[in-house]
Structure 1
Amino acid sequence: MNAFIEQFRKRRRNFVKDLGGKVLWKLERIMINHSKVSTDPFLDPYQFEWATFLEQNWRIIRAELDRILEYKERIPRFQDISEDQQSISKDDDWRTFFLYGFGYKAKINCSKCPETTRLIESIPDMTTAFFSILNPGKHIPEHRGVFKGFLRYHLGLKVPRQAENCRIRVDGETAHWKEGKGMLFDDTYQHEVWNDTNETRVVLLLDIKRPLRFPANVLNTMLINLIKHTGYVQDAKKNQEAWERKFETAIERTDPARKEAAKDYEKTIM
């Protein structure tokens, strides 16, 4: 009976997701017509003041990332958090350390990266933030985001020396990451990623609300709030919280000092 209920829930969620995706795609023309910024595949990140601010502080973020990467094998795979990612990643080579997801704060993870958290929380309309970690040889096949109400930003934190072999293609345009530099693009275009090197690539990935004129900006906020409460996001939230607790336990066992530091940070956000 439990297996039947679980199967029913999964089918219902997939139906809602597919239906919701079709509705969101129908609304893309509204987002395009009311966008205050370019609707090209790649955009200029420096039209936003926070992009320069992040670049100026990238070494602070990198230092916190390096401490997290000491426990790299304990960081969850993307599909462990969001089961829907299994369609584009089934191996162990794409790992994600979430700080925010659709506006939900990953408090335990944030306690491990207090300076990074402070920086990203200063960004207007930031909804999602995580370290996106690609192992050597990882390939993410062509896919597209479901909603044009966001813009996606990557801050290069750990980029292989053979940068030309670590690349992203968005709607036929190819770009390479650089450490300490940002990249802004529209992920509703078909895009694909390769790390054809023997080194790990890590970026700080952010989703921010696309700047829109009225009334599309109001519609966008309403849609994001609806998506936030779907099973797609709520299941990922539960998975993330479970993985956070596992990760915290792993760190506490190996480094008691970090446990005390995390407690001090948590007191500041209570």
Structure 2
Amino acid sequence: MKDLPSSQPNKRPFLIRIGKALRPVFNKLIARDSLIPNTPVLDPDIFPWTQILQRYWQDIAREFHTLNAAGTAIPPLRALSPDHTRIAPDTRWKSFFLYGYGVKVPENCARMPKTAELISRIPDLNSAFFSVLEPGAVIPPHYGVTKGLITCHLGISVPRNADDCWIRVAGQKLVWHNGQCLLFDDTYQHDVHNNTSDTRIVLLMQIRRPTKGMGRIVQNLFLNGIRRSAFVKDAQHNIAQWNQLQGTMKAA
């Protein structure tokens, strides 16, 4: 499928200019007032809900595999979010969204009720989606948008040869394990490689970093600005368009 057109392309340059100018200042304030360590990789036990996800990971995996077996098409990330084209240079990185910047995708959650119920318990959830990396996929080195978010990966289907499928965060090479959470700050440079013949699947969640004081105020301002931007609005539009197209194809 070709990339879906951006619904508000005229707003993108302004957002990029403002974001690039203010992001370093915002990140510094958020890091200063963070209630958790400002390290590249964190202990998942910082958040009690990671234990719940790990306890029920097989239920989550079962729902995803049932969805996949039913022939549900999972869109390439670049088809949903034009801004990710640089780090998603081909269609081998696919994403099935349940939540995006605080907004629920009702039809996708309805297809995975147990998973949707589990992630609805996560405090300060920003986004949640299944991140699917096909064999040979590479996500080049890049930095996350804001220190106001922390990323968590729950291993759902990890290639048997884990040494050839990995994520590197701030120079530290990490591997996934089925049923285990991996927690990190994506504002540190990171890249991903799947050098295997298997597909890697994780449930990727982003949650608000616990903060206080001015850091929390800045964090909320920045995240609210992103939520209202073309960056998010385009992706929401494209997810809805993709789901509508898939429904039409099934009905035919």
Global fold match (TM > 0.5)? yes
> 2:232 aligns to what?
233
**Partners of 1:130 and 1:204 within 8 A in 2:** yes
CA distance in 2 between counterparts of 1:17 and 1:67 reads 39
> 1:197 aligns to what?
196
**Partners of 1:100 and 1:129 within 8 A in 2:** yes
**Partners of 1:136 and 1:199 within 8 A in 2:** yes
Q: CA 1:156 to 1:250, structure 2 compared with 1: closer, same or farther past 3 Å?
A: farther
CA distance in 2 between counterparts of 1:171 and 1:72 reads 37
CA distance in 2 between counterparts of 1:181 and 1:85 reads 26
Give me the TM-score of the superposition, normalised by structure 2.
0.93
CA distance in 2 between counterparts of 1:22 and 1:60 reads 43
> 2:45 aligns to what?
46
Q: Unpaired segments of 5 or more residues in structure 1?
A: 1-5, 254-270
> 2:141 aligns to what?
142
> 2:103 aligns to what?
104
Q: CA 1:27 to 1:219, structure 2 compared with 1: closer, same or farther past 3 Å?
A: closer
**Partners of 1:135 and 1:199 within 8 A in 2:** yes
CA distance in 2 between counterparts of 1:167 and 1:176 reads 5
CA distance in 1 between counterparts of 2:181 and 2:193 reads 18
* 1:136-183 CA-partner distances (Å, limit 9, x unpaired): 111110011121100000000000000111100001001000000000
C-alpha displacement of 1:73: 7.4
* 1:99-146 CA-partner distances (Å, limit 9, x unpaired): 000011111111100110000000000010000000011111001112
Amino acid across the alignment from 1:132: S
> 2:182 aligns to what?
183
> 2:117 aligns to what?
118
CA distance in 1 between counterparts of 2:214 and 2:235 reads 30
> Between the two proteins, what is the percent identity of the paired residues?
37
Amino acid across the alignment from 1:92: T
CA distance in 2 between counterparts of 1:91 and 1:72 reads 21
Amino acid across the alignment from 1:77: P
C-alpha displacement of 1:14: 2.6
Matches within 5 A, 1:227-266: 227-250=226-249
Q: Unpaired segments of 5 or more residues in structure 2?
A: none
> 1:163 aligns to what?
162
**Partners of 1:17 and 1:232 within 8 A in 2:** no
Amino acid across the alignment from 1:212: T
CA distance in 2 between counterparts of 1:153 and 1:221 reads 20
> 1:259 aligns to what?
none
Paired residues, what number? 247
**Residue 44 of structure 2 is aligned to residue 21 of structure 1:** no
Give me the TM-score of the superposition, normalised by structure 1.
0.87
CA distance in 1 between counterparts of 2:46 and 2:124 reads 15
Amino acid across the alignment from 2:118: L
CA distance in 1 between counterparts of 2:212 and 2:80 reads 33
Rg comparison, structure with higher value: 1
Matches within 5 A, 1:6-17: 10=9, 12-17=11-16
* 1:206-256 CA-partner distances (Å, limit 9, x unpaired): 000000012322331222112100111111110011112233445567xxx
Q: CA RMSD in A?
A: 1.8
> Which has the higher relative contact order, 1 or 2, with Cα contacts under 8 A spaced 6 or more apart?
2
CA distance in 2 between counterparts of 1:71 and 1:131 reads 16
